[in-house]
Structure 1
């Protein structure tokens, strides 16, 4: 299918070709662009819709050219699908800021969908030639803007979760009572995308109730009722903050938020920002809440005193059992918390008892939501559990994951070469490793040292903490849990280091080969807590589960400990080298 044509004309009051039959009585998709802004829509009465857009001052001032995609085979469903495709890729590219409120509609199937979708790439290329895209489809898909886009197409379950959380929040705001909502999910279930979509939805509702102009199509879709009078007023002039505990992810999301008019003004906060603030929030949304900290040794010595001071100021007296989650709840009336206890990776992370209590409290109030479907790795939903069982030593039977590039390497050098090849082919392919080697090269005097050496193979740890995945040298380095948690790769090459061994039929921690000073912390003297080998091993297993579930298209594995390598070998396909 390549029978489309693109008609262009000025987006002015006199620029619309009103005599065109196709533009007045046929389903089409249109793209309005200005110097820095764009809007994508669909209509069977395009000229009438253009006139409506022109009546909105913001669009009249920011948009200059209209391009209408016409095809004699188009129907309403095909137009919805193409509209959503273009919204997704224009937002993922860096050239334009989208003015759309929603992501379009494409989650449903329709007759001959594959036939219509076969033309999407050709339409993309035609628009690219017209200057609407600066990157290729592959380049856009590999970008953080694309992966964390608030215009991401959600599954039915994700969409329902966003709608239910927002509806519950608006009801609680209207009733004037505090609330807690919890969204749970394993790695790759789309928790961060759900919460970004939710944040944009809440900001869009705020914009409407505070005087923003919109058309009916702007609020068409699964969240339309939330824009109606009676709901939306509850959000007027509310202070909303977005808390991200992880440094690397926080910087990435700040860049994504700057690209969206709705999200640009959102406060992206550390837990420390929340604790130190003299003002409170109406709502705090917390991503990766399992990475919030309890009272324990921190990455910088002065933070221990800050922790004590914040807790004392907020609660009137110091209690060592209070956590950063308690700060957040004290500093806000409403909280939406995204959590996965299986991704806690440090003894200082939020205690498992706190996570369980949080989940139970939300469930009692019917505000607990669970995401189940695996949306990252193409291996499907069973893959994450398979990996978790493998690294904990309870896997009994091998299984195949059709369509997923899973390989087991005896030589890390060969694996790194394969990762380089995939990076040339697909982009966004990187080496990762457990913290089984000290990070010596981070010291200026030792910046030339290779941190990880296995036989003839050697590699440095990541030189950057923030946005390491996209740094120019990352293909030559190994990323740690601190640089990759929360991110996707196309293919991940994972080194399971000598911190995990296999003895007497069990996977065991070798603490002498675990070099994360905060991860291998046995005594929390501040809270008088002692961690056993079994406790630390659980965190290490969580780390490897995270590393081994980053790859969308594939995961390559090398195991250092010989006995563990032989135990795991039957469960993973050998690399064909």
Structure 2
């Protein structure tokens, strides 16, 4: 079997060599499905930080299940019905492309949750085993715009299935209409039999532990000393255009290098280009091309665009330049990151605040989650530029204190 040399397809290909930890987890998922495919209500929750390989484990286990359900007899899983759901248009493109090259996988097995739910309600059909990647993106309330007319997508999926295997990471929640926490998940699952598994080894960032630790602290509003010089290239820039030129140079050398930004610059789906301007830097936001066969992160032309959290969530890149926009600032008296939700242009993220706690606190948590997603995309290097002068000055102070030599 072969897949293209496209990085994301290789990453999620079921034929990819797994680590011992990942292989063991695939076995656990297979055993769970075997035990519960003829039951009702069991759930396996797979957790782990960004970059620990949750999606490859899910797709590898799903591919092996597909092989077993095709057996005519002699296997408890023979004849079971399967579906793989993901509420992310860029990721579902990727999964379906992979299915074209993998014997036993079918493009139609990969669906958006709303499609699955509406079809299940219409036919009354119950699916034996449902996989959900990025379950934290499931709608947690009615959304007529996306043709979901019930109260909670996960609840609907549980009703329409016998067993569910799901990836869940509350630190990647990006909208109120898809608002999840550990508490809300546990409340919804109730007294169902639940198995929780966790991946811990970081595979995306080829860096010492001080790099993910710095990112995690930043997303908790704390600024640590910058990571020590190492092969993972961590840099701070005082000019966004200079940063972009460095990213373009890496793109010509290794590919999969992109500019990203917090959602602090106007963007409307009106068919027009919308731009991010920071001093000499002037580049358009990512264009919405639903018909494009490749996801945004994989298209060579997008080196001339700035990606948002919605176009890169779930993807690996080599070098990433992140513009921290006007909503992200710094308070010198407390030495902490500050956030201004009024400057956050993704107003749809804050729609539907009713009944989910303190809106101001949760708005800021969504903003921090988005920063976490942006900063955890690269495998080789993370470059930062801050729009706000106070934050830019503090980051540059840390940069000069560290020294600039990379090894």
TM-score scaled by length of structure 2: 0.89
Q: Do the aligned residues in 2 keep the contact of 1:387 with 1:545 (CA within 8 Å)?
A: yes
Mapped to 1, the partners of 2:304 and 2:101 lie a distance apart of 30
SS in 1 for 2:52: coil
| Residue 2 of structure 2 is aligned to residue 156 of structure 1 | no
Match of 1:271 in 2: 113
Match of 1:536 in 2: 363
Match of 1:291 in 2: 137
Match of 2:60 in 1: 197
Map 1:77-226 to 2 at 5 A: 91-93=2-4, 140=5, 142-173=6-37, 176-207=39-70, 209-210=71-72
Mapped to 1, the partners of 2:299 and 2:40 lie a distance apart of 45
Instruction: Determine which of 300, 311, 314 is the counterpart of 1:486.
Output: 314
Match of 1:420 in 2: 248
Instruction: Determine which of 385, 400, 404 is the counterpart of 2:228.
Output: 400
Mapped to 2, the partners of 1:193 and 1:273 lie a distance apart of 23
Mapped to 2, the partners of 1:410 and 1:184 lie a distance apart of 36
| Residue 199 of structure 2 is aligned to residue 371 of structure 1 | yes
SS in 1 for 2:284: strand
Q: How many residues align?
A: 393
| Residue 168 of structure 2 is aligned to residue 339 of structure 1 | yes
| Residue 191 of structure 2 is aligned to residue 349 of structure 1 | no
Match of 2:381 in 1: 554
SS in 2 for 1:92: coil
Q: Do the aligned residues in 2 keep the contact of 1:374 with 1:381 (CA within 8 Å)?
A: no
Map 1:500-539 to 2 at 5 A: 500-503=328-331, 504-505=333-334, 506-521=336-351, 523-524=352-353, 527-529=354-356, 531-539=358-366
Q: Deviations over 1:51-102 (max 9, x none)?
A: xxxxxxxxxxxxxxxxxxxxxxxxxxxxxxxxxxxxxxxx333xxxxxxxxx
SS in 2 for 1:490: strand
Q: Do the aligned residues in 1 keep the contact of 2:41 with 2:158 (CA within 8 Å)?
A: no
**RMSD of aligned Cα (Å):** 2.4
Mapped to 2, the partners of 1:92 and 1:210 lie a distance apart of 28
Give 1:252 deviation, angstroms: 1.4
SS in 2 for 1:167: helix
Match of 1:387 in 2: 215
- Which residues of structure 2 form unaligned runs of 5+? none
Instruction: Choose between structure 1 and 2 for higher RCO, CA contacts under 8 A separated by at least 6 residues.
Output: 2
Instruction: Determine which of 69, 72, 94 is the counterpart of 1:252.
Output: 94
Mapped to 2, the partners of 1:384 and 1:558 lie a distance apart of 18
Give 1:508 deviation, angstroms: 1.9
SS in 2 for 1:519: helix
- The structure having more radius of gyration, on CA atoms, is 1
Q: 4+ runs of 1 displaced by more than 6 Å?
A: 358-362
Q: Deviations over 1:253-272 (max 9, x none)?
A: 11111211121255211111
Give 1:531 deviation, angstroms: 4.7
TM-score scaled by length of structure 1: 0.64
SS in 1 for 2:347: coil
